[in-house]
Homo-oligomer: A and B are copies of this chain.
Amino acid sequence: MSLQELGQQAKQASFDLATLTTRQKNAALAAIAEQLEAQQEAILAANKIDLDAAHEAGLSAALLDRLMLNGERLAAIANDVRNVISLEDPIGSEMDCRVLENGLRLSRRRVPLGVVGVIYEARPNVTIDIAALCLKTGNASILRGGKETFHSNMALVKVIQMALQQAGLPAASVQYIEKPDRELVAQLLRLDEYVDMIIPRGGAGLHKMCQENSTIPVIIGGFGISHIYVDDSVDLNAALDVIENAKVQRPSACNALDSLLVDQKVAGELLPMLAERMNQASVKLVATDNAMAGLSAAKDLQPAGEGDFDTEWLSYTLGVKVVADVDEAIAHMRTHNASHSDAILSNRLQAVERFVNAAGSAAVYVNASTRFTDGAQFGLGAEVAVSTQKLHARGPMGLTELTSYKWIGIGDMLSRP
């Protein structure tokens, strides 16, 4: 099947999905969860082919672990689908209902986007995750995973399509781009006749490629340098707890702390304490000249080089810089891609207001860890992506962010514009 046909079928399926009841969509999700467990053997066999190939190709232990499915993980994935059943369906709700002076009863009604294209990398659970969230919001999806997970993904999509048909829904509600050609990704990005939104889930390179080549709106996100600015008005041990949480709880996450900006008023006292804390957590420090002396007790310390404050570490490394005040912190952040999650630790109301207003980040925290930026933490029940762009959605995207709206105007044949 050509990509053109695949797009056409997805669009056709999206017409059916748009008018399903929540009960019908939930029944399809329940069938998917059930089939994931019933078809465990076939899925794990397919996954083994991918795992064997990955072993042979010498993939890292971390990548192998991301790739690996077993009974327990499949059960967890099935339960994630059941969790989506329990989420509120945003489709059909109406906003801003009012009668205009011209006589029209006007409202905005939440509707599905239509067709969502998702391009992702290693983890096979993304296949189920995205398919379930799109289905719940009445969107058809076209998926494209990494080549390392090809057999696993094909097995999972086969299970999904079987469950969809069982539930009386078109199999084309969830489709997978099977052929390995990279050219097909480029084609998908220009399928604007059928596809309404592209979600890349992967590294900065994937996002950049989508941004540069897509004629379809793309959700850019998932990376950015995270900063904490701390001044002298807070309890320093409590501040170190927050900093440690932000850096160490899960260093590979996009909301993990990258750069710590220490106000000069507290640097003398805080930096030695920081060195000690980070030693305990085996964090390497990369510091500006004005922070080196204060950090001299650090076991792993080096002067910051070109680009270090533009690096999303994703590991046990932390950049440290002493700044004159909140304005220098803001100026630093503006030139070092502060677009995701940033925090101020301070009790000075004026500095806090300045920071909150001026930070260009999707999520700004006061006296809290950057690690809060997450759909589950925010109570959205799901996370489709974390957007760092400003259109449509910003920060963690839940089900509502997979929807659009249409205006509905009801007249009486006599109302006139």
Contact = CB atoms under 8 A, between A and B. Distances in A.
A404 interface: yes
B364 A417 contact: no
A19 to B, nearest CB: 5
Contact of A417 (B245, B334, B362, B394): B245
B362 A104 contact: no
Nearest to A408: B364
A222 to B, nearest CB: 15
Interface size class of A (residues with CB under 8 A): 35 or more
Contacts of A356: 408
A66 interface: no
A264 interface: no
Contacts of A368: 104, 409-413, 415
A15 B331 CA distance: 10
B416 A245 contact: yes
A251 interface: no
A215 B80 CA distance: 35
Contacts of A62: none
14 contacts: A18-B358, A102-B377, A106-B379, A114-B360, A196-B391, A242-B413, A359-B406, A363-B408, A364-B408, A366-B411, A368-B412, A368-B413, A391-B404, A394-B404
Q: Which 6 A-B pairs have the closest CB atoms?
A: A368-B411, A390-B404, A238-B413, A363-B407, A392-B392, A371-B417
